A and B are shown apart, each in its own frame.
Chain A
């Protein structure tokens, strides 16, 4: 650690590359794609409005992905993000409907209020997940699958499957504003959340603890960590992220419905894994996840600039990229540990042999 400052720049770069191989691969892919777009469709792709549109679109699933990432770092997963998002946005849709006055406007306190409530609702839904995982010891994949279904069910029961709309347009307009006529509000919400989570996991004790928890729950217990509270906090955060994602969806569609964004469940998992988070826990960075989110958006938007290519190809490319990256990781990982029998912890005792 202390010797780091004395390392030569070149070595330092090598060191950085080796540590973050995965990140560099994502960067490389983004650069290549940007180059490709520059060569083929420069004018249609490189415009301010295009980038602004992208920046307004990705935060809805981007924020949800951040929550899934946190859960995956602890060795879990959150498949209820879309259910949480929709339940929150529907409830807030109802509230906005109530607050909308005859002229179609909203009182000044409305928007801060709905956001505050959304955070509270998301937090409690996440807390519910956290309880299932920590107190009832239900495997996270099942617990959140069940609660996701439950939340969606509540949405359906409340709305009969219809959209909640016709509330004041002021809400959507506010969120669709641009700061200094430049930065979409959605992006700002995303940046704030991303920064907050980055701070939490890389600068605070909480971050170190959830990485440890994800590495080995039993050791964490023997090290005196309060496991239950860590799970509760993590899933609560994920719930809050999902709720905010829902609030952005509410603005982007100007309505809320039980089946909005259903593809996001698996897409979020995909993003997080592509971002380099280890699905079995303990490893992964927010920078990778953010890069994966951006990569997804760039690919999708870029592809849309080729009218003759069906936009549905995006899912093909997307799945292909995920598997490709995993296979590449497979080869680099396996070069590192040549003579170690994998997967079994007891066998690692004498790996040095």
Chain B
């Protein structure tokens, strides 16, 4: 075997009593595309930070191109060609593309003065490395997510990177942008630059990486060539559990639709949307990131009210202009981005659960009925199996899966008849995902109409009784999950 680019040997790291990494050893060859997978809390982020010099390991060492380091500083890491691209891309939204591209370089060279001409040529050089063109004078805040990512990548390449670590790089990209990204990664490989891909998405692992390493509870549970991996093994390594597939079958479907959209439209986003939802159904609406599905979901909940067409609830036309309207029509909404739309992170689990129902938990004159409140909280903590010792703890103390259950509980507490789920399991680990799907099946059986907006195709196929595919702001087809597969849905989406 040729000399490896990077090797970690027996890394241990713990934080105030929590063992984050236990005896982690893994290695990468130059130009290798490697996927580091693991559930939330498995130690992925800690490992990245050890490699990039942010954390010092308690035991073990790192070898870089044959040289041993007991401890490396962030500067050592950069000098050794390690570059990390974080999920937020570490860009400055208030500055121009040029400055964003050139800063790192200028700082690394210890420059004190700004030479705008030089910055411009650095920026041009950086973009040319991955063959993209972005207006250098544009403010980064006005760019799309993919463009920001391109900036982060080309910036990293300017530092003579040998290894680029990407933290969940595809989360906010459209399908086309993902393809684009993968092309660039392949290009980099040709130049001998290795990529460490941090992800928990199965299809990505298969699509791009040559080798994989899976962490669970801070330990390496599997490592090898991606070709040896399959769907079932992957989830088993990730969670340590086996899952049986449970395809959803709609039962007790009501005759009349509980919700119906007729020629609904929102300018610039979608138009001529008609569909109906009956009690007991779970329908899936899928499409690319720019297909208008997110906006449709937001319209149903009144965040971005439709400007054409009509929504009907119980066959009566309704005007949904705000989330409050939607709630009055018994519509609940589980948002796409839990952190900025779903949860009051620093507030208690209890308050998060009752907040939307809180006006009903009163004695009189708006005085909170403590007893009723705690009953309600206890009920949902139990029903949804939210794992917490005390509902008064802040919700940020919980894992992603449990947090998603809180959001779900918030809406279930309002007794919704229609549940709009925009990406119900984004950022949720496989185990919780499975459980949440189970909860959805039960809810549908109890007569709630559910709409899942998602681009997670296996999720849609497994959990929906009907699938609507959106493209360019319209519904292009309706499919039945029994006689469809991912390929077929994709062909309609693209």
Contacts and interface: CB of A to CB of B under 8 A. Distances in A.
Interface of A: 1-3, 203-209, 211-212, 215-216, 218-226, 282-283, 338-339, 344-353
Given A205-B366, A348-B339, A353-B44, A283 B346 contact: yes
Contacts of B335: 222
Interface stretch (B205-213, B226-234, B285-293, B321-329): B321-329
A72 B201 CA distance: 41
B356 A224 contact: yes
Contacts of A212: 344, 347, 351, 355
Contact of A282 (B344, B367, B378): B344
Given A219-B342, A222-B342, 5 more contacts: A204-B362, A208-B358, A219-B341, A350-B40, A350-B45
A221 B359 CA distance: 15
A48 B301 CA distance: 61
Contacts of A206: 366
B341 A222 contact: yes
Contacts of A222: 301, 303, 323, 333, 335, 341-342
A141 B317 CA distance: 42
Interface in B275-314: 301, 303
B27 interface: no
Contacts of A352: 40-41, 399
A221 B301 CA distance: 11
B42 interface: yes
Nearest to A281: B346
A224 B342 CA distance: 11
A352 B41 CA distance: 5
A225 B341 CA distance: 13
Contact of A349 (B42, B323, B365, B427): B427
A294 B382 CA distance: 44
B345 A215 contact: yes
A212 to B, nearest CB: 5
Contacts of A346: 87-88, 339
Given A208-B355, A225-B355, A344-B88, A216 B45 contact: no
B366 A204 contact: yes
A207 B365 CA distance: 13
Interface stretch (B99-107, B258-266, B390-398, B483-491): B390-398
A171 to B, nearest CB: 33
A205 B324 contact: no
Nearest to B351: A208
Given A282-B344, A352-B399, A353-B42, A2 B374 contact: yes
Contacts of A351: 396
B276 to A, nearest CB: 24
B386 interface: no
Nearest to B302: A224
A203 B88 contact: no
Contacts of B151: none
B326 A1 contact: no
Contact of B390 (A1, A208, A225): A1
A207 B351 CA distance: 11
A2 B359 CA distance: 23
B400 interface: yes
Contacts of A207: 368
B346 A215 contact: yes
A349 to B, nearest CB: 6
Q: Taking each of A1, A219, A226, which has the highest tally of chain B beta carbons within 10 Å of its own beta carbon?
A: A219
Given A348-B339, A352-B41, A353-B42, A221 B323 contact: yes
Contacts of A3: 390
A15 to B, nearest CB: 10
Interface string B407-431: 0001000000000000000010000
Contacts of A283: 346
Interface string B356-393: 10110110011110000010011000000000001110
A353 B341 CA distance: 23
Q: Taking each of A205, A208, A221, which has the highest tally of chain B beta carbons within 10 Å of its own beta carbon?
A: A205
B475 interface: no
A221 to B, nearest CB: 6
Contacts of B365: 204
A348 B392 CA distance: 20
Given A282-B344, A346-B88, A223 B390 contact: no
B247 interface: no
A48 to B, nearest CB: 37
A216 B345 contact: yes
Contacts of B88: 344, 346-347
A323 B327 CA distance: 45
A353 B46 CA distance: 6
Contacts of A203: 367-368
Nearest to A350: B45
A216 B344 contact: yes
A218 B338 CA distance: 11
B169 interface: no
Interface in B417-469: 427
Contacts of A219: 340-344
B350 interface: yes
B370 to A, nearest CB: 9
Contacts of B44: 350, 353
B359 to A, nearest CB: 6
A352 B17 CA distance: 12
Interface string B4-31: 0000000000011000100000000000
A215 B326 CA distance: 23
Given A344-B88, A349-B40, A352-B399, A205 B359 contact: yes
12 contacts: A205-B366, A208-B355, A215-B347, A219-B340, A220-B344, A224-B327, A225-B355, A338-B16, A339-B55, A345-B340, A350-B44, A353-B41
B341 A218 contact: yes
B341 A348 contact: no
Closest 6 CB pairs of A and B: A224-B327, A215-B344, A352-B41, A224-B323, A204-B366, A222-B341
B473 interface: no
Contacts of A345: 339-340, 345
B326 A224 contact: yes
Contacts of B410: 223
B43 interface: yes
A139 to B, nearest CB: 16
A165 B132 CA distance: 73
